[in-house]
Chains A and B, each alone.
Chain A
Amino acid sequence: MVAIIIYIATLLITVTVVAGASTAGYLNSALTRTVGGIGTQIVSMNWLYQYTNFESFIRYCLQGEVGIIGYAFLLSLGTLLVVWINNLIEYKQAIM
């Protein structure tokens, strides 16, 4: 479950970066977009897993270590990710 949340968040970042770079005139071919996307995904996942305790905090919330407030945080984070995904699809930008 934790991995899914981290994966969605980093996928969001990847799509945002690749779409933004493409709009700015970079990564014009499918190959460069693929390479850029994979690289961004790997870097952002490594950052969240290795250099921050974001993953362990989410795990503690899921395991109930923070009580009901931990679940509320997961709900807020999920809401944020859903809103941004919808915005990216509808309006091509994460924040309106």
Chain B
Amino acid sequence: MNPIQFNVLAIILILGIMPFAVAFVSNAGSSTDEAMKDSITPGFNTNTGESKWLNNGGDNWSWYYDNKNFYGPNSYEVDCTYVENGYCYGLFDGVNEYPLSSAYYSNNFILPMNAHNVFQTHYSGSNGNNYVGSSGDDAYGWRFGSEFFGEITQNTTVDKLKFTFVETNAIYNCDNSIFSNLTFEGEIIFYYQGETLKFENFEFEESTKYKYNQYDNQNNHFSVVCVIGFDIVFDFTGFESLKIDSFNYGNWSGTVVDVLLTNFDDGDDINGIGQTVTPFGGDNQFFIGVEHSEINPKEAGFLIRAGTLFLTVITFIIAIASTPYWDPFTNYFRGRL
């Protein structure tokens, strides 16, 4: 081999083989094929008081709210014309919070996974069908208390967390143009004993068409329906899963999670998602399901460390072999190239 060929080999090692090996080691502790499990315990779940809306699409203030003497039948909804960073803004700014629900009863009859029924936040005015203002095209966010993670085994960590948002009240023809293709970004923040751990820059591309088997109470059978909804999966690398474990020590009963979705773009609407039908925009209710896949942190840690040790040894061997004092490369390629 001539010098150029040796140099090409070096470049292939750094740009090709090394990153591939690093990716392999990083994901050594991750489970890729394990089925998702329910995170929410079925049946009645005590409201810890932690769960609430963080953001509901940005400034929803419209002319209807300009008359501050307007008191609807549920004045707290007027108080809360929009939610920002966990607090309501409207008649009283930054005081009230908007809980996800008043009580939690989850089951897997409505959706394929255990899911909680949750309030939407846009007030319906006395004008009838439509809710007041617009959905807003800014961030949506929720804080999930530990009642959403009751089925995550203690002393384990998660490889994936999946959140499903579905509005089941209205069924549409699956070819209906009401469904949209959304792109957005997400971040997830874990809270434990006053500390925070944040993972960000997740990118999502989802259709708002959620197709699933819904139970028809009238006819007593399941049928495939299309409703407004989608799911998002926060997929953590082996390192991130271990970081979560060293953060909350596998204590999911004391862990709270924020999910924030931002930078929405509706590929089918140049005006943004202000008019896009989303499962969480509106004046009714929707369902949130949570699932996870868990991994044993000790196993994952061992696999990652063993993989890194192997990579270290190989790298040292290549470094020594790159010197004139030991030239296995020359001997190997002699006569072949």
Residues in chain A within 8 A of chain B (CB atoms): 9, 12-13, 16-17, 19-20, 23-24, 44, 47-48, 52-54, 56-57, 60-61, 65-67, 69-70, 72-73, 75-77, 79-80, 83-84, 87, 91-96
| Contact assessment for A76 and B312 in the assembled complex, using a CB-CB cutoff below 8 Å | yes
| Contact assessment for A95 and B324 in the assembled complex, using a CB-CB cutoff below 8 Å | no
**Known pairs A65-B242, A80-B315, A83-B322; A52 contacts B19 (CB<8 A):** yes
| Contact assessment for B22 and A20 in the assembled complex, using a CB-CB cutoff below 8 Å | no
Q: Is B197 part of the binding interface, using a Cβ–Cβ cutoff of 8 Å?
A: no
B residues contacting the other copy or chain, number (CB 8 A): 39
Q: Is the interface of B mostly helix, strand, loop or mixed?
A: helix
Per the bound structure, the CA–CA distance linking A12 and B319 in Å amounts to 14
| Contact assessment for B305 and A96 in the assembled complex, using a CB-CB cutoff below 8 Å | no
| Contact assessment for A94 and B304 in the assembled complex, using a CB-CB cutoff below 8 Å | no
* Most chain A CB neighbours (cut-off 10 Å) among B26, B322, B323: B322
Q: Is B329 part of the binding interface, using a Cβ–Cβ cutoff of 8 Å?
A: yes
Least Cβ–Cβ distance between A65 and chain B, in angstroms = 6
> What residues on A are CB-neighbors of B9 within 8 Å?
94-95
> What residues on A are CB-neighbors of B26 within 8 Å?
53, 56-57
From B4, B304, B311, B323, contact of A20 by CB (8 A): B4
Per the bound structure, the CA–CA distance linking A44 and B316 in Å amounts to 23
A-B contact pairs, 20 of them (CB 8 A): A17-B7, A20-B3, A20-B8, A53-B19, A53-B23, A57-B26, A65-B243, A67-B305, A69-B305, A72-B312, A75-B312, A76-B312, A76-B315, A79-B319, A80-B315, A80-B322, A87-B322, A94-B6, A95-B7, A95-B10
| Contact assessment for A13 and B14 in the assembled complex, using a CB-CB cutoff below 8 Å | yes
| Contact assessment for A73 and B315 in the assembled complex, using a CB-CB cutoff below 8 Å | yes
| Contact assessment for A76 and B316 in the assembled complex, using a CB-CB cutoff below 8 Å | yes
Closest 8 CB pairs of A and B: A93-B3, A94-B10, A52-B19, A76-B315, A80-B319, A95-B6, A73-B312, A16-B7
From A23, A52, A69, contact of B312 by CB (8 A): A69
Beta-carbon contacts under 8 Å, B283-324 to A = 304-305, 308-309, 311-313, 315-316, 318-324
| Contact assessment for A94 and B308 in the assembled complex, using a CB-CB cutoff below 8 Å | no
Q: Is B189 part of the binding interface, using a Cβ–Cβ cutoff of 8 Å?
A: no
| Cβ-closest chain A residue relative to B327 | A96
Q: Is B75 part of the binding interface, using a Cβ–Cβ cutoff of 8 Å?
A: no
Chain A proximity mask over B210-250: 1 for CB below 8 Å, otherwise 0 = 00000000000000000000000000010100110000000
Chain A proximity mask over B7-27: 1 for CB below 8 Å, otherwise 0 = 111110011001100110110
| Contact assessment for B14 and A9 in the assembled complex, using a CB-CB cutoff below 8 Å | yes
| Contact assessment for A69 and B7 in the assembled complex, using a CB-CB cutoff below 8 Å | no
| Contact assessment for A73 and B311 in the assembled complex, using a CB-CB cutoff below 8 Å | yes
| Contact assessment for A96 and B315 in the assembled complex, using a CB-CB cutoff below 8 Å | no
**Known pairs A16-B7, A20-B4, A54-B19; A84 contacts B312 (CB<8 A):** no
> What residues on B are CB-neighbors of A95 within 8 Å?
6-7, 9-10, 321-322, 329
Least Cβ–Cβ distance between B9 and chain A, in angstroms = 6
| Cβ-closest chain B residue relative to A13 | B11
